[in-house]
Chain A
Amino acid sequence: MAVILVPKPPKEAMNPDRPISTLLRAQLLHLHEVEKNLPSRLRTKTYVHAIKTERQAADYIRQVTENVFKAHGGDAPAKRKRRAKKPPAPAAPSDQGGSQAQGEAEPGAGPEVSRNP
């Protein structure tokens, strides 16, 4: 059977400071609407219209998603911890981006994966 080589994207493909798209803007607004229904202790009090970059958006998305799970009495599904690359040279690119790491990862090889609530 054929083995197809899949090139990794370059490191410079990563740009969390990219301005958010209309899709992410909509996702933020939908999450903001959901946040209004959460108990006050689980609201972030974030002004979503001030969110401009993907990094900022991701941070807000993570907080509200986790709070939705908390409101239902559970924790959000945990992110698997990655194995450290070796050698861990600080100046070397330690990670070429999440999707590449997915491609390299053996399914289920990582430790400490919590089950879905």
Chain B
Amino acid sequence: MPAGLDHLKHIVVLMMENRSFDHMLGALKARDPRIDGLTGNETNPDTQGEPAKAQPLAEFQSQLDPDPDHHFPAVDLQIFNEDNSNPRVASMQGFVKSYFNQQRDVNHSHKIMYYFPPEKLPVLTTLATEFAVFNRWFASIPGPTVCNRAFAHYGTSFGQVSMDIFYVKEPYKSIYERMIASPPHTAKIYYYDQASSTIEIVNLLQNQPQLFATYDQFLVDCKQGTLPDYSFVEPNYTDHDTGSGEELASDQHPDHNVQAGEVFIASVYNAIKQNDDLWQSTALLIAYDEHGGIFDHVVPPACMPDGFKASPNDTLTGREFDFDRLGVRVPAVLVSPWVPKGTVVDGRVFEHASIPNTVTKYFLGDYNPRSPREANSETFLDLLSLDVMRTDCPDFNVG
């Protein structure tokens, strides 16, 4: 076993909102051709048949307004571009058409192709190039937030493909319930504050609020070395006032400010790194829940069916969905001083079910029952492969 795994005591997952891989990290291909990003020649046809080109013109705010549609039918259009052949051909050519549907403005629809130059995202791009970046981490479902985050918590969405309420079905349990049912293992969801709360409301917050703590508590637990075995961190989902000031949304969901999310990612990283014992015993995964309707050039692959089916009434596409294809690719970065600098994870497909699978296998070993998707997903702790801990890891200074 590599020394990094010998030292590993904590896994922390920070899940951000609604940005595609190419949008956030695609420009890194120019620096490192191993990263499957953008060449600059990618296009999508607009509604007048003209090519809309991927360009490094993404802005922190006020550009993707209205929020690009990322519900199941819209993502179907983005991936398949209305192809009805049998079998259907996924082309990733329908993003501009999909965004046009919201404002009926051809020029505005081109903005769905825009991506960030690396220098505008110093935190995420530094972490991606200093540690491990995943070339093939996909959302679990070609759809919106709630069902995708469910895969990170349960390894399945129990048949849900939308933002509607879903209910946990036996025999599958959340990763948190698995952990606390196996003492001395511990797990916690850190939401930002009460006014932001969590997206995992109906099943976990309602019934087991003891699983939750605030982000302030996360900072305290990092400093005091009292972090649980597994931590899931949620960013701030709303701009809101508190008795002591203003809280800026940090989830990077359009149209929230992307820089605020960068500051938040840096905050999580710094909190772990500033405690030496914690730093050497923690793996931090930063992943985005889904692509938010924003362009990515990689076709989502087929995958192990989930054992659930979504009816045509649920998908709103006229087609049944067997949970046998992943969603659009999202940014994912694994951080640990035991990860070799500049690791690019290629040739392996990850999705959000990889999260409970990895945590379960590491802390609990053989555990059943788990969803077919989770049981067949990749795990990522083998990336902590160094025998000697790095001492060259960057620091972030929020200026």
Residues on A lying within 8 angstroms of B by beta carbon are 1-9, 13-16, 18, 21-27, 29-31, 33-34, 37, 54-55, 57-59, 61-62, 64-66, 68-69, 72, 74, 76-82, 94-110, 113, 115-117
User: Which 3 pairs between the two chains have the least Cβ-Cβ distance?
Assistant: A97-B248, A98-B247, A108-B223
Q: Which of A3, A65, A100 contacts B248 (CB 8 A)?
A: A100
Which of chain B's residues has its CB closest to A30's CB?
Answer: B201
Known: A30-B202, A58-B195, A107-B274. A102 touches B239 (CB 8 A): no
- Count, A-B residue pairs, CB within 8 A: 242
Q: Which of A2, A7, A69 contacts B209 (CB 8 A)?
A: A69
A-B residue pairs in contact (CB < 8 Å), sample of 9 = A3-B394, A13-B257, A23-B17, A29-B165, A79-B216, A98-B245, A99-B250, A107-B222, A108-B224
CA distance A52 to B253 in the complex (A): 17
Asked if B259 CB lies within 8 Å of chain A CBs, one says: yes
Q: Which of B193, B199, B392, B394 contacts A27 (CB 8 A)?
A: B199
- B202 contacts which chain A residues (CB < 8 A)? 30, 33-34
CB distance from B371 to the nearest CB of A (A): 22
B216 touches A98 (CB 8 A): no
Known: A34-B205, A61-B194, A108-B223. A21 touches B253 (CB 8 A): yes
Give B238-278 as 1s and 0s: 1 = Cβ < 8 Å from A's Cβ atoms: 11111011111110011101011111101100110011000
Which of chain B's residues has its CB closest to A63's CB?
Answer: B194
- B392 contacts which chain A residues (CB < 8 A)? 1
Contacts A16-B246, A110-B216 known; list 9 others, CB within 8 Å: A18-B255, A21-B254, A55-B240, A61-B195, A62-B197, A78-B216, A79-B242, A99-B264, A116-B212
B398 touches A6 (CB 8 A): yes
- B205 contacts which chain A residues (CB < 8 A)? 34, 65, 68
- A29 contacts which chain B residues (CB < 8 A)? 165
CA distance A57 to B194 in the complex (A): 11
CB distance from B157 to the nearest CB of A (A): 14
Asked if B145 CB lies within 8 Å of chain A CBs, one says: yes
Which of chain A's residues has its CB closest to B258's CB?
Answer: A9
A72 touches B399 (CB 8 A): no
A16 touches B236 (CB 8 A): no
B241 touches A8 (CB 8 A): no
CA distance A103 to B397 in the complex (A): 8
CA distance A72 to B201 in the complex (A): 14
CB distance from A116 to the nearest CB of B (A): 4
Which of chain A's residues has its CB closest to B211's CB?
Answer: A116
CB distance from B397 to the nearest CB of A (A): 5
B216 touches A113 (CB 8 A): yes
B398 touches A100 (CB 8 A): yes
CB distance from A117 to the nearest CB of B (A): 6
- A25 contacts which chain B residues (CB < 8 A)? 163
CB distance from A86 to the nearest CB of B (A): 14
Asked if B349 CB lies within 8 Å of chain A CBs, one says: no
Asked if B126 CB lies within 8 Å of chain A CBs, one says: yes
CB distance from A12 to the nearest CB of B (A): 9
Known: A6-B399, A9-B257, A77-B214. A107 touches B271 (CB 8 A): yes
A113 touches B220 (CB 8 A): yes
Known: A6-B398, A27-B197, A107-B223. A77 touches B212 (CB 8 A): yes
